[in-house]
Structures are given as C-alpha cells and as structure tokens.
Amino acid sequence: MDPVSAKYIGAGIACLGMGGAGIGVGHIFGNYLAGALRNPAAAGQQFTNALIGAALAEGLGIFSLVVALVLLFVK
C-alpha cells in the first residue's frame, strides 16, 4: 500500500472519533433531560455532572481531530 494513501486512511479513521464524541454528547444531554423531566428537584445538581461529561467527550473528539491533523500534515 502506498504510504500516502495509508496516511489518508488513518486520518479518516481518526476522524470517526469526532462522530463518536457527538453521539456521546447527545446521549449525555438526552439522558440528563429525561432525568430532569422525571425529577426536576435534582436537575440543578446533575447539570454540573452533565457539563463535565460533555466536556470530557468533546475533549476526546478534539484529540481525535488533532491526531488526524498530525497524520495529514506531519511528514
């Protein structure tokens, strides 16, 4: 296999992590909203946990973007 094509394939696979981060954030806030509608008294306490979880998921998505960019632009 040509090294350039392998580099592009690896960068594409690394970009799948960004989609996974989007799915993860959607699950976090969807479950938070479902829980907040069931128990509104606990919603305020759990919002901080939802934000921390979303930040961690987005951090992993940004990390996968950085890996893809490193694969593409570093020789």
> Domain extents for the chain?
19-73
| Confidence (pLDDT) at 53 | 94
Tens digits of per-residue pLDDT, 28-60? Answer: 999 999 999 999 999 999 999 999 999 999 999
DSSP string over 3-48? HHHHHHHHHHHHHHHHHHHHHHHHHHHHHHHHHHHH-GGGHHHHHH
**CATH class for the region spanning 19-73:** mainly alpha
Tell me how far apart the alpha carbons of residues 20 and 18 are, in angstroms, rounded to a whole number.
Answer: 5
Sign of CA dihedral 60, 55, 28, 49: positive
